[in-house]
Amino acid sequence: MVTRKALISATLIAALCVILVLGYLAGRTFREPARAISIAGMTVLEPASPLPEFRLHDQNNQEFDRTRLQGKWSFVFFGYTHCPDICPTTLVVMRDVQKIAGGREQGIQYIFVSVDPDRDNAATLGRYLPYFHPEFIGATGGHGELMRLTRALGAYYESGEARGGSYEVHHSAAIFLIDPEVRLRALFAGPHDAARLAQGLQRLKGGS
Amino acid sequence: MIRFKRFAVGVMLMMTCLLALADSTIVVRDAWVREAPPGAAVLAAYFTLENTGTKEDRLVAVRCPDFDKIEIHATEIRTGVARMIALDALPILPQAVVKLAPGGYHIMLHHPRRALAAGMSVKLELRFASGSHMTVVAPVRRAESGAAHHH
């Protein structure tokens, strides 16, 4: 009998603890100003999330850092040139976004960040990207700097196991949209659709 | 003796027919190779497989002298991360159509031995678990998503 009472009390106390912890967490969440709103395959960050400092280089071996993103809207995709399917597919979509939304003259840039710096360098990117569009920017750098950027965006990459002298790189399929104040403003989950990406940008541009 | 010979010839003819039948259960359509940027180390080939037969078959290998190595791959997007998975075989169930297309199943073509550009073509030999095999001509094409024409 005593043990049953003890059991009931213990259960009640445990339940109370759970309620208190949940209440605390819920309160914290509600106080948190950041929100993510999803509309038509686009997740908008409210407020936009500022990017930290990072140092990469582009296909012309010029430094590629935060300043290169200032004052422009940038679509960013992470991939690698030894990727035969999803990367060229996404770059073709970006080319179509460029056709609809515009490029440099409209203050919009398209950036392919290689997360395979062991095989991709400035020269590799310089040969690869103009095929898709002469304005496309290729960037890469050391894993430390790449991680700094990917982590800030909530992006992910990881090299797979070596097989027969080659390896794959697993990477986020999303396209990230950085605003002119160098903040992550939105991200688009795949499968990508050029018209939807362009519309998403227009919507955000109009509202900023 | 003559009767046996006739019998043997008959059996062989029947077997040839069966083999021909086995060969014809898989139909390959719309083969193409996606044109890659100059100097790219890898390309992808796509096609549609249709199993018109009553038994499952599996694509087990693709051969082409124009590449160092060829693998059957699937692009898989799980929790937002794209991964390429090398497959030992691609099953095609009876009466099923399996489409290899950008963003999904593809044939990964490693290290082209000659520069391939749109307008050229390669010959791919497809080998199946049933023992049947066939050669298809895959033109090299520039990929267009077509989405730009929507608006």
* DSSP codes, chain A: -HHHHHHHHHHHHHHHHHHHHHHHHHHHHHH---EEEEETTEEEEEEEEE----EEEETTS-EEEGGGGTTSEEEEEEE-TT-SSHHHHHHHHHHHHHHHH--GGGTEEEEEEES-TTT--HHHHHHHGGGT-TT-EEEE--HHHHHHHHHHHT--EEE---BTTB--EEEE--EEEE-TTSEEEEEEPSSP-HHHHHHHHHHHHHH-
Assigned domain for B6 exists = no
Strand pairing class (B105-112; B42-51): antiparallel
Where in the sequence is the domain holding B111, given as residue range(s)? 22-142
Q: What's the ipTM?
A: 0.79
Task: Give domain status of residue B11, yes or no.
Answer: no
pLDDT score of B148 more than 50? no
Any residues with CB less than 8 A from the CB of B68 and at least 6 apart, and which?
Answer: B110, B111, B113
Residue B36 inside a domain? The answer is yes
Tell me which CATH homologous superfamily contains domain A35-207: Glutaredoxin (3.40.30.10)
CA B66 to CA A186: how far, in whole Å?
42
Q: Does B124 touch chain A (CB under 8 A)?
A: no
**pLDDT tens profile B63-80:** 999 999 999 999 999 989
pLDDT at B82 (0 to 100): 94
Give the per-residue pLDDT at B18: 47
> Which residue in chain B is spatially nearest to A164 when comparing CA positions?
B69
In a domain, B105, yes or no: yes
B120 lies in some domain: yes
Mind listing the pLDDT tens digit for each residue in B83-115? 999 999 999 999 999 999 999 999 999 999 999
Tally of structural domains, chain B: 1
pLDDT of residue A14: 75
In a domain, B4, yes or no: no
- CA dihedral sign of residues A78, A80, A86, A89: positive
Distance from CA of B4 to the nearest CA of A (A): 52
Q: Do B148 and A129 touch (CB under 8 A)?
A: no
**Domain extent listing, chain A:** 1-32, 35-207
User: Are residues B102 and A83, on separate chains, in Cβ contact within 8 Å?
Assistant: no
Q: Any CB–CB contact under 8 A between B10 and chain A?
A: no
Q: Looking at the domain assignment, is residue B5 inside a domain?
A: no
- Across the interface, whether the CB atoms of B106 and A84 are under 8 A apart is answered yes
Q: Which of B71, B81, B99 to mutate to test the interface with A (most CBs of A within 10 A)?
A: B81
CATH number, domain containing residue B87: 2.60.40.1890
B97: in domain? yes
- Nearest CB among A168, A189, A193 relative to B147 is that of A193
Phi, psi (deg, nearest 5) at residue A85: -120, -70
B42, B146, B147 member nearest A82 (Cβ): B42
Is the CB of B80 less than 8 angstroms away from the CB of A173? yes
With an 8 Å Cβ cutoff, is B44 touching chain A?
Answer: yes
- B147–A194 CB contact, under 8 Å: yes
Q: How far apart are CA A160 and CA B139, in angstroms?
A: 31
Q: Do the chains contact at B81 and A170, CB–CB below 8 Å?
A: yes
- pLDDT per residue rounded down to tens, chain A (208 residues): 556 777 777 777 777 766 666 655 555 544 445 677 777 679 999 999 999 999 999 999 999 999 999 999 999 999 999 999 999 999 999 999 999 999 999 999 999 999 999 999 999 999 999 999 999 999 999 999 999 999 999 999 999 988 888 899 999 999 999 999 999 999 999 889 999 999 999 999 986 4
| Closest-CA residue to B85 (of B110, B62, B105) | B105
User: Scanning every residue of chain A, which has its alpha carbon at the shortest distance from the alpha carbon of B83?
Assistant: A170
Q: Measured between beta carbons, which residues in chain A are less than 8 angstroms from residue B44?
A: 84-85, 88
The answer, yes or no, to whether residue B147 has pLDDT greater than 80, is no
